[in-house]
Amino acid sequence: MTYVKPISTLWWLRRPSYFLFALRELSSVFVAWFVVYLLMLVSAISAGPEAYHRFLDWSTGRVLVLNVVALLFVLLHAVTWFNLAPRAMVVPHVPPVVVLVLHYLLWLGLSAALAWVVLR
Amino acid sequence: MSTFHNVVVVGGGGAGLRAAIAVAEANPRLTVAVVSKVYPMRSHTVSAEGGAAAVAGPDDSLEEHLYDTISGGDWLVDQDAAEAFVQEAPRELLRLEHWGCPWSRQRDGRIAVRAFGGMKKKRTWFAADKTGFHMLHTLFQTTLSNPDVVRYDEWFVTSLLVDDGQVYGVVAIELATGRVETVIANAVILCTGGCGRVFPFTTNANIKTGDGMALAYRAGAPLKDMEFVQYHPTGLPFTGILITEAARAEGGWLLNKDGYRYLQDYDLGTPTPHPVLRSMELGPRDRLSQAFVHEHDKGRTTDTPYGPIVHLDLRHLGAEVIDAKLPFVRELCSKYENIDPVKELIPVRPVVHYMMGGVHTDIHGATSLTGLYAAGEVACVSINGANRLGSNSLPECLVFGARAGQAAAEFVTSTRTAPGAAVYAQARDAQRLLEREFARHAEGSHIGGRERIADIRTEMQTAMENGAGIYRDGESLAKAADRLRDLRERFGRATVDDRSRTFNTEAVALLELSFMLDVAESIVVSALHRGESRGAHQRTDFPGRDDERFLAHSLVRRTPDGGGLVDYMPVKITQWPPGERVYGR
Amino acid sequence: MADTITMQVARYRPGQEAEPVFQSYDVPLRKEWAVLDGLNHIKDHVDGTLSYRWSCRMGICGSCGMTVNGSPVLSCATFLTDYAPGPVRVEPLRNFPVVRDLVVDIGDFMAKLPSVKPWLIRDDEPPEGEYLQTPDELDDYKKFSMCINCMLCYSACPVYALDPAFVGPAAIALAQRYNLDSRDEGAADRRDVLSSAEGVWACTFVGECSTACPKGVDPAGAIQRYKLTAATHALKDFLLPRGAR
């Protein structure tokens, strides 16, 4: 005879944290899209210059917008993921903020290295 | 419907869970049930703060713990019981350590101990200032590992099944459904705790309504030393929330409205900057609460909307000590008084805290009824005498919980008596009676008008505070007795608006009130008969201790008309003849 | 300050209402009064039929969790003046079946709790004296031992709402309380349940459990920490030969 409250379809709008949670869950789709896009890029390159240029031409306009949105979602995912790090990795006698800063430094370093390889 | 268990434990707090584990350990073939009106981890043991006493270091001895306990109890302590208690307390606290209790530690990893009121040595084990909470959850989690312990959570016990002087189980209401059930058993252990809610201003939780005391009393077991009600000197005004004695043990001071450490005026020693054991703020609770009343009479307390107060000063301890040793005190002050004890004074006043008296038991927890045992605050063994020392009650729950569990297990293993037809008939009758009672109170069509449960309860509490408070006299007690008789008559017209079977908390409140009225009467009648002042029982018309007439436990039995009949039994004295209680000198 | 405040209290009486309805009561607005004091005023003086759980009224027994103006709180530690001028909306904890009015059924938690073995596990006999444990070692798990089982974290957790099989924040935090206790040797016994799909991996780190926790337990942190432990174990199991693990 207990009453079970049905879950409303808009439950994720009730709190900012729930909304963020929904966005982060959604971000996985965009992460997946980035992987597909990368594979398409590799495939285009391996198919020769012509295919590569066709791929670049295709990557403007709507696809570019999609990629920008995807980038934002991936950033959201990365930042929220990094912010968790100090709570998942508890190192004795090391304050949580150090763990956090080290993560961001590592991220920056890897990104810089990648940028150097690509833009060189 | 009825179920059977070899042993039924009523109450799932410190004593109850310890007893259940003891039964299971004593004989794994026995089934043991814990019937509790709340989930075990909600039990009031959870609120205990300061610590648990047991001799721990090489500089301490069982003798000293024993002497502190006996003198603290103003020689109304049964010395054989106290001997067993101080001897077994260390082992019990160690067992809790082995079960995972997060005791506070010294730097080298050994158990840390702190000072406590009335104790000559540091021997109070603690888990910061949430000792009861950690002990209860450790016990609860340990019982989860034991499939032999069956729990009946949120079952409210309404009566004991008794046949020919022997107890055969309980009648209970399953709150979720409102069904009346019987649990038949070969032995019952009462572990329902105290009865602080009989008074208006108490540290006790809402559930502390003296259920077990009333259950035993109604079944024919006498209650012992019910006149001894402990006031704790430091409760927060309005809520009555306890500020642990550990606050004084760590060095806190009690100040009157002039900022003066007034305890020095009451033969409790001379003020020193650092705490001295058995002196000043580390005196026993009865003496400290009585000093407050005298300060009030001298006009040296501060008036607030919630009664006169003095101040507890922890500021000189500093944030570091307070956060390490008294974090809960800081949390409670900030939440409920909106003050920070690191920078501000804590307003405090004496508050009803503990019942020294209870169901009379021997040192094995056995009551006067065959098959009925009791342990913890509900029982009076008695190790607390006329005044319990702080931090003796948690180990009491463990020592005597375990003892009662073992004794009950032994009893049901060695006796073959099975509940007869009379018990089953009684169970059916009890069910019908409850239904009829409920219907009667729900009808509300009584001659003389309807009465609200809360009104009767409030008036009972006021009558108790006015008549049987820190200081009482023959006149105030007689008046309280009259008021209680009147309230009992009005109780007959109490109305229950709630007709639902599902989680009917109003019906529970009604039953609890009827228990409390019995307990209140037993307190008043016991206090009326004791014409002396001893420990927590202070008669202004009999100001001195009278060992000639009253070095004896009072026993109150219920008469058929509902009144109480008082007589006395001798105190067991083995090695310490009555002496003067000396503190601070 | 007005001298009264309106409390809108969810009522559900099986057999009487098919689903909860709100009933309004005006109660005195006093500085010291917690939401619980308001409810007690209603029960004692206005409407005896209102049902809710409470006991210690000092935030340690864990009985009186409710949803107040949409957030899970302990009603004894949440004050009416914080909601002035009102109204204050009091509902039962979310994500649990409602038994009656503000009383919810926590049987699911009580059934799950033993599955994570929240007790000290050792193979050997205990020593004569205590197990030694330094204050630092105590600090490693102390936070997770503060859980009062009040169920606010389950009420705040959308994962538990969507997937009732989720072991849940408090139970996982209590498992971690023992895993991180230097005296305990039962981590391996708890691994299967904790590492399952209904264990830590069901958590998507909303973090609301830690926000809701009135005792600073940080169940979300406990869960994240165990994810790292579980992942490390899975990796070890995969990479190392059986004997070397």
pLDDT digits (tens, 9 = 90+) for C156-209: 999 999 999 999 999 999 999 999 999 999 999 999 999 999 999 999 888 999
pLDDT average, residue stretch B287-305: 97
Distances (CA, A) of B579 to A79, B71, B113, B303, B387: 72, 8, 28, 38, 15
Q: Which of B41, B47, B102 sits opposite C145 (nearest CB)?
A: B102
Identify whether B248 is a catalytic site residue: yes
Q: Percentage of chain C with pLDDT > 90?
A: 92
For residues B377 and B195, give the distance between their C-alpha atoms in angstroms, rounded to a whole number. 9
CA distance B231 to chain C (A): 18
For residues B453 and B511, give the distance between their C-alpha atoms in angstroms, rounded to a whole number. 10
Supply the pLDDT for residue C191.
Answer: 96
For residues B324 and A81, give the distance between their C-alpha atoms in angstroms, rounded to a whole number. 33
Q: Is the confidence at residue C96, as pLDDT, over 80? A: yes
Q: Do C135 and B47 touch (CB under 8 A)?
A: no
Q: Is the confidence at residue C148, as pLDDT, over 70? A: yes
Supply the pLDDT for residue B545.
Answer: 97
Complex ipTM more than 0.90, yes or no: yes
Residue A19 near chain C (CB below 8 Å): no
Supply the pLDDT for residue C243.
Answer: 64
For residues B162 and C211, give the distance between their C-alpha atoms in angstroms, rounded to a whole number. 51
Q: Residues of C with CB below 8 A from B43's CB?
A: 61
Q: Which of C99, C136, C208 sits opposite A2 (nearest CB)?
A: C99
Q: Do A88 and C227 touch (CB under 8 A)?
A: yes
Supply the pLDDT for residue C115.
Answer: 97
Supply the pLDDT for residue C125.
Answer: 94
All structural domains of chain B: 2-228+356-421 (3.50.50.60), 234-350 (3.90.700.10), 428-551 (1.20.58.100)
Confidence of residue B448 (pLDDT cuts 50, 70, 90): low
Is C195:C230 a contact under the CB 8 Å cutoff?
A: yes
Q: Which of B106, B238, B500 sits opposite C32 (nearest CB)?
A: B238
For residues B218 and C108, give the distance between their C-alpha atoms in angstroms, rounded to a whole number. 37
Q: Do C158 and A84 touch (CB under 8 A)?
A: no
Supply the pLDDT for residue B562.
Answer: 77
Supply the pLDDT for residue B118.
Answer: 95
Supply the pLDDT for residue B310.
Answer: 98
In Å, how far from its chain's centre is CA B27?
29
Supply the pLDDT for residue B417.
Answer: 78
Provide φ and ψ at A114, rounded to 5°.
Answer: -60, -45
Q: Is the confidence at residue C240, as pLDDT, over 90? A: no
The DSSP H or E segment spanning B424 is helix B421-443
For residues C185 and C131, give the distance between their C-alpha atoms in angstroms, rounded to a whole number. 13
For residues C133 and C122, give the distance between their C-alpha atoms in angstroms, rounded to a whole number. 15
Touching chains, B (3+ CB pairs < 8 A): C
Residue A99 tokens, joined: 């763990």
For residues C33 and C55, give the distance between their C-alpha atoms in angstroms, rounded to a whole number. 16
Provide φ and ψ at A59, rounded to 5°.
Answer: -80, 20
Residue B245 tokens, joined: 């004695």
Q: Among B213, B506, A78, B129, which Cα is nearest to C46's?
A: B506
Distances (CA, A) of C172 to B121, B487, C122, C214: 40, 50, 20, 17
Q: Do C134 and B107 touch (CB under 8 A)?
A: yes
pLDDT average, residue stretch B274-292: 96
For residues A112 and A15, give the distance between their C-alpha atoms in angstroms, rounded to a whole number. 36
Supply the pLDDT for residue A116.
Answer: 95
Confidence of residue C146 (pLDDT cuts 50, 70, 90): very high
Q: Is the confidence at residue B444, as pLDDT, over 80? A: no
Is B30:B211 a contact under the CB 8 Å cutoff?
A: no
Q: Do B100 and C184 touch (CB under 8 A)?
A: yes
Q: Which residues of C touch A (CB under 8 A)?
A: 12, 14-15, 19-20, 70, 94, 97-99, 105, 136, 158, 161-162, 204-208, 211, 218, 220-221, 224-225, 227-228
Q: Do A18 and C220 touch (CB under 8 A)?
A: no
Q: Is the confidence at residue B12, as pLDDT, over 80? A: yes
Q: Is the confidence at residue B447, as pLDDT, over 70? A: no
Q: Which of A80, A82, A87 to mutate to test the interface with C (most CBs of C within 10 A)?
A: A87
Q: Do C19 and A3 touch (CB under 8 A)?
A: yes
Q: Do C48 and B239 touch (CB under 8 A)?
A: no
Supply the pLDDT for residue C170.
Answer: 98
Q: Which of C57, C99, C106 sits opposite B206 (nearest CB)?
A: C57
Architecture of the domain spanning A1-88:
Up-down Bundle (1.20)
Q: Which of C51, C60, C146 sits opposite B503 (nearest CB)?
A: C51
In Å, how far from its chain's centre is CA B84?
20
Cα pseudo-dihedral B103, B106, B107, B109, rounded to 10: -60
Segment B194-208, tens digit of pLDDT: 999 999 999 999 999
**Catalytic residue (one of B248, B285, B287, B457):** B248
Chain A, 76-115: which have a CB under 8 Å from a chain C CB? 80, 84, 87-90, 92
Segment C121-133, tens digit of pLDDT: 999 999 999 999 9
pLDDT average, residue stretch B172-181: 95
Q: Is the confidence at residue C42, as pLDDT, over 90? A: yes
Tokens 């997937």: give the residue.
Answer: C163
Q: Residues of C with CB below 8 A from B104's CB?
A: 135, 138
For residues B185 and B34, give the distance between their C-alpha atoms in angstroms, rounded to a whole number. 12
Between residues A60 and B48, the one the model is more confident about: B48
Segment A60-94, tens digit of pLDDT: 889 999 999 999 999 999 998 888 888 888 888 88
Q: Residues of B with CB below 8 A from C146's CB?
A: 130
What is the pLDDT of chain C when averaged over all its residues? 95
Identify whether B134 is a catalytic site residue: no
Q: Do B109 and C132 touch (CB under 8 A)?
A: yes
**Catalytic residue (one of B18, B114, B137, B232):** B232
Q: Residues of C with CB below 8 A from A24's CB?
A: 204
In Å, how far from its chain's centre is CA B52?
15
Q: What angle do CA B389, B77, B512 make, to 5 degrees?
A: 70
Confidence of residue C86 (pLDDT cuts 50, 70, 90): confident
Q: What angle do CA B519, B523, B528 make, to 5 degrees?
A: 150
The topology (CATH level 3) of C4-104 is Ubiquitin-like (UB roll) (3.10.20)
Supply the pLDDT for residue A36.
Answer: 95
Q: Which of C35, C46, C58 to mutate to test the interface with B (most CBs of B within 10 A)?
A: C58
Taking residue A75's Cβ as centre, other Cβ atoms within 10 Å add up to 11
Tokens 């509790």: give the residue.
Answer: B36
- Burial classification of residue B269, based on how many CB atoms lie within 10 Å of its CB (0-12 exposed, 13-18 middle, 19 or more buried): buried
Q: Among C217, C113, C213, which Cα is nearest to C156's?
A: C213
Q: Is the confidence at residue B57, as pLDDT, over 90? A: no
Supply the pLDDT for residue B267.
Answer: 96
Cis peptide bond upstream of B382, omega within 30: yes
CA distance C16 to chain B (A): 9
Q: Is the confidence at residue B342, as pLDDT, over 60? A: yes
Q: Do C211 and A17 touch (CB under 8 A)?
A: yes
Is C152:C219 a contact under the CB 8 Å cutoff?
A: no
Torsion over CA: B474, B479, B480, B484 (sign): positive
Q: Is the confidence at residue B445, as pLDDT, over 90? A: no
Q: Percentage of chain A with pLDDT > 70?
A: 100
Give the neighbor-by-neighbor strand order of the sheet with B358-360.
Answer: B379-380, B358-360, B223-224, B552-558, B564-570
1.10.150.120, 1.10.1060.10, 2.130.10.10, 3.30.565.10: which CATH number matches C107-244?
A: 1.10.1060.10
What is the Cα Rg of chain C in Å?
A: 21
Instruction: Fill in the amino acid letter for B12.
Output: G
For residues B341 and B343, give the distance between their C-alpha atoms in angstroms, rounded to a whole number. 5
Torsion over CA: B446, B451, B457, B462 (sign): negative
Q: Among C121, C146, C29, which Cα is nearest to C83's?
A: C29
- Burial classification of residue B582, based on how many CB atoms lie within 10 Å of its CB (0-12 exposed, 13-18 middle, 19 or more buried): exposed
Supply the pLDDT for residue B585.
Answer: 87
Q: Do C225 and A88 touch (CB under 8 A)?
A: yes
Sketch the domain layout of chain C as residue ranges: 4-104, 107-244
Q: Which of B97, B239, B505 sits opposite C131 (nearest CB)?
A: B97
